[in-house]
Structure 1
Amino acid sequence: MTTMVHNETDEDATVGVAADLLGLTVRTLHHWDEIGLASPSHRTPAGYRLYTWDDLERLSRVVAYREAGLTLDAIRDVLDDATAEIGDTLREQRAQLAERIHDLQQLDERLERMTDAHERGILMGDDEQREVFGDDWDPQQSRAARFVWGGSRQWAQFAERSASRSKSQWRELSESMSALQRDLADAVGRGVEPASEEADELVERHRELFSNFFPLTRQMQVCLGRMFEADEGFSSYYNGIGDGLATWFCQSIDESARHHGIDPETATWE
């Protein structure tokens, strides 16, 4: 809040008195003096600053404009230039403030979405999720995943990406995953060998698609492949896409890892 000087005084004010009157620090008054913004008219024989009534009035105006958000250079222009249009300066300041408020509102909205994404995973309602991912999709899956993975770096990365992903982008990603699953089912149905070039291409395509959720290294992919085969829920899901797909996909991921110099038996989640 701006502190105004109400009463004239017959005596000049010392820097300490001036600072107390205006709610400033002595150091601030020294700085303003050094840069020529608001200097005392007098000094004692010992060199101490003394502020007249007019000096205090100028200081009050400096404080008022500073609290309005003007820079010290802009304040100097307003106070020293007789031709300066104070109204124009203040309107410009308001315009800048409005822009800052807009930016802060957008930042607040992004933070709100990121907070929700960390708690919910996918920022769509249940009906929207079924519309995008299909009628068989269970919206509880992403919420349940938070309880399993919520404290991990990968969940944080997933949430951060989810916060900025639109419904159409989710749909595009879902369609790409569905296309991959159809190609995986076709490959296992045709008896494609896990170590073949075609299998390697499918594994790499899976890794790249999955990296839309969080960065997936080849070692991490090996761990996922083992989970796809060993976990009853995952294996039922993949085998429902194609008979024997869970085991075939796990083997294909292992072989692809070997082709990149990784021993799948020692692969870790990193």
Structure 2
Amino acid sequence: MEYTIKQLSDLAGITPRTLRWYDSQGLLKPGRVTEAGYRLYGPAEVDRLQQILFYRALDLPLAEIRTLLERPDFDRQAALQSHLSALEARRAQLDALILTVKQTLKGADTMSDAEKFECFKRNVIKENEALHGAEVRAKYGDAAMEQANARVAGLTREQYWAMTALEEEIRAKLEAAVRAGADPAGEAGLDVAMCHKTWLSYGWDGSQYSPEAHRGLAALYTEDDRFTTYYDRTVPGCAAFLRASIERHI
């Protein structure tokens, strides 16, 4: 089935102007244009638009979406699984925040300081389960994942904020290194790898951590689209740089 630009915009809940903009940016071309100049969109274009809107819902810039969709190894099923994991993680985060706000409204004067920050730690655990859970459980067993979750749950407020600040620092350093064309074997790669090792220590204890396990996790960053999408959502190439840095320096 083919759709005119008006029909497709109505179907997708966007404006014809948005579709024209996607066309001008090379993001979504019509399947064909009639002699009268009408754009027509077929099944392939409908599927591509769905992917675009999924990525937009995750706040990816259009330029990055085009880069992802045009990768030779782009896998639609893997991308859908990645979208699902990201959306589940976002839902878990919102559910935890809503619960905390409700609890605060009911008992703002009776909540302990620790209780006021519990939702944020629960968010981390739920996000980790959505992003890493299946792979970690399959590779290292349920006990390893449960132990990591318990370790995060036991973080103090100061440790939690230090962990999240370090995660943002790693992302910023990755993006800066990739934009600068840095070599993972160099100083930037060493810095990122060491920061990542410190970040892991918040969830992994000494009995769980080993260089081999660290490198094994890093391999997933480019082998599993969910990880790749997570790290490449702003600057493509960050997942590959992180993996290469860890493999070189750990």
Specify the TM-score bucket, using the shorter chain as the normaliser.
Answer: 0.3 to 0.5
Which has a greater percent of helix?
Answer: 2
TM-score when normalising by structure 2? 0.44
Q: Whose relative contact order is higher, 1 or 2, with alpha carbons under 8 Å and at least 6 apart?
A: 2
TM-score when normalising by structure 1? 0.42
